[in-house]
Chain A
């Protein structure tokens, strides 16, 4: 590595965000939970994970791959149930508000 690359490493060294970053983030995460706003995870499979799954199949590690698939399917089901539960809860909250 030459002098420029050394300088670049120093110049592009990691910096910390502002001191209140953590407090603001925790507050935002808590507020998001309280609002029951629809926030659903994106379960996009990273390329490296998809590639690893393919390698398992090719090398014949079928049982391991099957387990991985099963766990992934289970997570999808749990996600679906969380989404549905949140929406139904939201309906209940609104209905209660109408009755009061």
Chain B
């Protein structure tokens, strides 16, 4: 009886942990921007929804086939994206609140670009555990836009890079080595 109870509790804890582990990997804390946005996107797809959606993706369509393959190994996709009519709606504090979470040891920034002309910032961070990729974070900001994306799971970086080649876009170049963060 005691053993059964222990097993049940262990199983329940493991399930809860799985849920926590495979949910969003960092907090966005951006709800206050939604009210000020002229356009916004909120995507929240957990493992179950991704698997469900995958059944409706057409394997004969090149774009959908690529996406189907990519999401087969994912545990979640979470995106918040805002567009504003005026500049100055979002603040550096909003960006720092997200960035600070990506300074944790398991995260590495692999790409960071800043355009002085367009006042745009773009960053890609990768989450590593035991030598394997377990998540990707993308931050993109401009004077009138703010986007955060978290792709959770065994993200295939090559496939993700290939994504740039779909939907009519040119491919992203591969081969950028992850940088170890200096503490």
Which A50-84 residues sit within 8 Å CB-CB of chain B?
69-71, 73-74, 76-84
CA separation between A91 and B164, bound complex, in Å?
Answer: 10
B95 at the interface (CB under 8 A from A): no
**Are the C-beta atoms of B67 and A77 separated by less than 8 Å?**
yes
Report yes or no: A38 in contact with B140, Cβ–Cβ below 8 A. yes
B56 touches A83 (CB 8 A): no
Closest chain B residue to A43, Cβ basis: B41
A72 CB to closest chain B CB (Å) equals 9
Interface size on A, residues (CB 8 A): 34
Q: Contact: A91 with B124, CB < 8 Å?
A: yes
B164 x A85 contact (CB < 8 A): yes
Residues in A neighbouring B149, C-beta threshold 8 A: 80, 83-84, 87
| Residue from the list B45, B113, B120, B169 in contact with A77, Cβ < 8 A | B45
> Contact: B56 with A85, CB < 8 Å?
no
Interface hits, B104-136 → A, CB 8 Å: 111, 113, 115, 120, 122, 124
Interfacial chain A residues near B177, Cβ < 8 Å = none
Asked if residues A73 and B56 are in contact (CB atoms below 8 Å), the reply is yes
CA distance A41 to B40 in the complex (A): 7
Does B180 interact with chain A (Cβ within 8 Å)? no
Q: Which residues from A are CB-within-8-Å of B77?
A: 77, 80
B151 with A88: CB separation less than 8 A: no
**Given the complex, which residues of B lie within 8 Å of A80, measured CB to CB?**
43, 45, 77, 79, 149
Specify which chain B residues have a CB less than 8 angstroms from the CB of A81 in the assembled complex: 63, 67, 70, 163, 166-167
- Contacts A/B (CB < 8 Å), 6 sampled: A40-B39, A70-B56, A83-B147, A83-B149, A84-B149, A94-B120
- List chain A positions with a Cβ less than 8 A from chain B: 37-43, 69-71, 73-74, 76-92, 94-98
Chain B residues close to A by CB (< 8 Å): 39-41, 43, 45, 49-50, 52-57, 63-64, 67, 70-71, 77, 79, 81, 83, 111, 113, 115, 120, 122, 124, 138, 140, 142, 145, 147, 149, 151, 160-161, 163-164, 166-167, 169-173
